[in-house]
Structure 1
Amino acid sequence: MRDGALQIDGLSKRYGHVVALRDMTFDVRAGELFGFVGSNGAGKTTTMRIVLGVLAADAGEVRYDGTPLTIDTRRRIGYMPEERGLYPKMRVGEQLEYLAQLHGMTAPAARAATRVWADRLDIAHRLDDDVQALSLGNQQRAQLAAALVHDPTVLVLDEPFSGLDPIAVDVMSDVLRERAAAGVPTVLSSHQLDLVELLCDRVGIVSAGTMVAVGSVDELRADGESVLVIDAPDAPTGWADTLPGVRTASRDDRGRTELRLATGTDDQAILRAALATGPVREFAHRRSSLAQRFREVVTHQAGEPEPPTRTRGRRGRLIPTQQTWPARRTDPAKGSQA
């Protein structure tokens, strides 16, 4: 079936006794930004190198638009390696034109595309400089330009945000969204999970060479733990220990109780139980972040107990049925006092 997607199907790779990939399977849909995340050594770069044809898989297949990749289709992939691959003593402009021609563009088309992407990524004033004369951030911009200059139909980016300043992160994020809007399937790996959470349509979590969880950020977070923090100073100690869906409850010396909840727990039922003990001054809900879900999945995959770490997220209020809130409130869309 021809659908414009990049499909990674059952990849396996072994180096002697070391298993790098074990039945690695996922797809990146047309126009999708797919976050590929995992610990160091999990198999992300090996997977990307197999997609590019740099490495051969022991088993499995990579397809684009329903067809196994060939030399010709791989020429249409834009690749940004984790170890930056530009020639340090070659001028930026000459290098981008050269790489574009390697991907099949004519010299005039390569020259025009180089100018377009240099302007877009704010390195036009450095085209006559050697790559080694650029700052790390500008080298990153040049490397992204090299991945985009030949108008690729697929993007594979390994740690594209490493070393970038906040302005460059915004520029690169905008570029990736634009390419996705043009229908380009994009897979990117990053250890910056906050950026992955904001940018990607779906995320795949890989551990020990295997894809262990795939879904949208909301889907992954929904499967994880969430936390309620209730400020009910008159509630007796242990008031929430037996409530349905409460995994653990801990209370500090100020009367604030932190509850860790199972998926699907009725928040309003917990609020009503708290109100039955006396006034509730605050009711804050922290959904599991992608970083927290990542820790849960990878730790569980390793067979270790899940660490009792605090989740972080935007605070929101639930409207009580028996208690009037004070004038101070939180805007859930902004996470600040309103």
Structure 2
Amino acid sequence: MDRENKSQTWVSEFFLLGLSNDWGTQIFLFVLFLAMYLVTVIGNVLILLLIRLDSRLHTPMYFFLSVLSLVDLCYASSIAPQMLAHLLSAQKSILFHRCVLQLYASLALGGSEFFLLGAMAYDRYVAVCHPLHYTVIMHVRLCLGLAAGCLAAGFMNSLIETIITFQLPLCHSIISHFACETLAMLRLACVDISINKIMVAISGFLVIMLPCSLVLFSYAHIVAAILRIRSTQGRSKAFGTCAYHLTVVCMCFGATIFTYLGPGSAFSVEEDKMMALFYAVVAPMLNPLIYSLRNKEVMAALGKVLEKFRAKG
């Protein structure tokens, strides 16, 4: 590394190019993403409240769902508010320390979500394949340990990746993105980033494929167990306990694998933006809708709470 590169390492503020330069498009995107963010906040907070208030939802499955809702809420809030503010601003800037915190938080929460989906798959595996021992196996300490382990893995991976990313000397401060994202930050470096790209790929592979392997293992055994059930009603009930989780798993893992691990993937700027938008705005909004609108237990809990409010009124 030469002296010129060393003299270009300090940046106090970054400037984001955002999603569009057209004012009309920015207003449209602001209204669209604001509506989606409000649905995200209301949906996830509602899930948390229902699980807290209804004792029938005090089970391992809904414990993991409450942790997932909290992670989704925090993840969306780490990116969406700033993105919305920038859509109404001519100058899209972010201070260095806020950029570091945003990158760290989004990586940590995103990684934690993948690990949580793996833990939820294991919970469904125990529920379907070992129903008589479910309460014994999925005891409180195990559930808390799994949730804590998922969060710890996500935050530790993020810490390593964030430190490595911000140690690079930077040539300029213009980020071709709407948020501080790893690959967008790497493009600012003055030095060769081939090793960094490899490390990001390895990190992403571990964060994606380890939970994905657990999901595949769990659902392979779940499908085998369901096929052994003779009654159609029994099969339908067993599959119903997994359908919501499997929908979220396919949505999250499918999008990531297609973009980053699929054939011909080149980590383009537009792909980075689309993936960041999906995980910051779309996924956190869809998750509570998937888990609530077609979930009879959640809808029953919502009806019970609304009935109590009407009675008090």
Is the TM value for this pair above 0.5? Answer: no
Larger Rg, first or second structure (1 or 2): 1
TM normalised by structure 2 equals 0.23
Greater relative contact order, per chain length (Cα 8 Å cut-off, separation 6+): 2
Comparing both structures, which one devotes a greater share of its residues to strand? 1
Normalising by structure 1, report the TM-score. 0.21
